[in-house]
């Protein structure tokens, strides 16, 4: 769950955010503080893959928006994670 791309997609699923807002949001909902290099490394990869896009802004703070492809990808990843969590919980209970 520490994959920064999934965390960023999950953050942007709640609405458009700029870099600092994404960092703060992730720290709140996941308890993980992404470093600035990690954050922008992941933003660069997500933008290259077309899963997020920059939104026009007059400010230096550049907001980002999740794309339809990004939403689809996020849903797939969350389904997989859910399955992992369910299986892990069942096995822990049986152990």
Count of residues that interact with another protein, criterion CB under 8 A: 17
Among positions 61, 75, 86, 90, the unique one binding another protein when judged by CB under 8 A? 61
Based on the shown chain and the rule CB under 8 A, indicate whether residue 39 belongs to the binding site for another protein.
yes
Task: Please give the Cα distance from 14 to 21 (Å, whole number).
Answer: 12
Closest CA to 63 of 28, 11, 27: 11
E-strand spans in 1-95?
Answer: 17-18, 52-54, 63-66
Rg of the chain's alpha carbons, rounded to an integer?
15
Instruction: Compare residues 16 and 19 and give the one whose CB is closer to another protein.
Output: 19
Among positions 1, 13, 29, 36, the unique one binding another protein when judged by CB under 8 A? 36
Question: Which residues contact another protein (rule: CB under 8 A)?
Answer: 18-20, 23, 35-41, 43-44, 59-62
């Amino acid at each position: 769950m520490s994959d920064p791309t999934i965390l960023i997609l999950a953050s942007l699923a709640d609405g458009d955010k700029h870099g600092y807002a994404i960092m703060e949001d992730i720290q709140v909902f996941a308890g993980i503080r992404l470093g600035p290099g990690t954050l922008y490394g992941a933003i660069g990869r997500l933008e290259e893959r077309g899963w997020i896009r920059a939104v026009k802004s007059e400010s230096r703070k550049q907001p980002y928006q999740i794309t339809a492809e990004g939403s689809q990808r996020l849903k797939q990843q969350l389904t997989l994670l859910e399955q992992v969590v369910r299986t892990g919980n069942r096995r822990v209970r049986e152990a």
